[in-house]
């Protein structure tokens, strides 16, 4: 275990069963965060959560497709219910497949829609439900805000400070295009735009 600089914080990692998402879930837990792993591959998700718990961390799983609004809403509700708050959302989930490879001429409309839902719509839905939960969770434990120096009507009330972080995983493919990868390339470019 490391320094535990995320003690008291709660995180969701979509696509957290393996790969980049799996490693991210393990790192967050090693740094002290309580982690909800959301994935469609139950066996791998459970194995990663067990690995985290065996190392002294705190992790649970939820199986579901985060491109579905009901799942996006439920994952936030589950994190808040289990951990009492939400501080971090890592949006990493994506599942490729032979039907999602190809150019605009080769890709079928249903594959386009399902691929873009998982790559882009899921990020929108995650933010839609996570941001209010993060705001309600308030600042992370132990956070001491800087004194507010705004004055007059133009500056208004102090902004919410340190109430959460969303990390959307894109790729170099969002900027540099590879042939016959229309869905992945367009989706990762959209993630960059959505994050901005």
What is the total count of domains within the chain? 1
Helical ranges in the chain per DSSP H: 19-30, 42-54, 69-83, 109-116, 122-137, 152-155, 182-195
- Does some domain include residue 154? no
Domain for residue 5, yes or no?
A: no
Annotated catalytic residues are: 184
pLDDT band at 140 (very low <50, low <70, confident <90, very high): confident
Q: Is the confidence at residue 130, as pLDDT, over 60?
A: yes
Q: What is the pLDDT of residues 100-117, one digit of tens each?
A: 889 999 999 999 999 999
For residue 94, what is the domain's CATH number? Answer: 3.40.50.720
DSSP secondary structure code for residue 44 in this structure: H
Please report whether residue 150 resides in a domain.
Answer: no
Domain with 96 in it: 10-141+162-195
């Amino acid at each position: 275990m490391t320094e535990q600089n995320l003690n008291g914080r709660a995180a969701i990692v979509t696509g957290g069963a393996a790969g980049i998402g799996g490693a991210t879930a393990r790192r967050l837990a090693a740094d002290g965060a309580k982690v909800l792993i959301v994935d469609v591959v139950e066996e791998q998700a459970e194995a990663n959560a067990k690995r985290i718990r065996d190392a002294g961390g705190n992790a649970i799983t939820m199986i579901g497709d985060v491109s579905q609004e009901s799942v996006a809403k439920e994952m936030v509700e589950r994190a808040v219910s289990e951990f009492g708050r939400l501080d971090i959302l890592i949006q990493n989930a994506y599942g490729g497949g032979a039907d999602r490879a190809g150019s605009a001429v080769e890709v079928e409309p249903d594959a386009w829609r399902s691929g873009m839902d998982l790559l882009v719509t899921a990020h929108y839905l995650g933010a839609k439900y996570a941001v209010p939960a993060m705001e309600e969770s308030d600042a992370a434990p132990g956070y001491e805000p800087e004194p507010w120096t705004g004055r007059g009507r133009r500056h208004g009330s102090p902004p919410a400070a340190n109430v959460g972080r969303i990390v959307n995983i894109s790729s170099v493919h969002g900027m540099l295009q590879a042939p016959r990868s229309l869905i992945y390339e367009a989706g990762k470019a959209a993630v960059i735009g959505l994050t901005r």
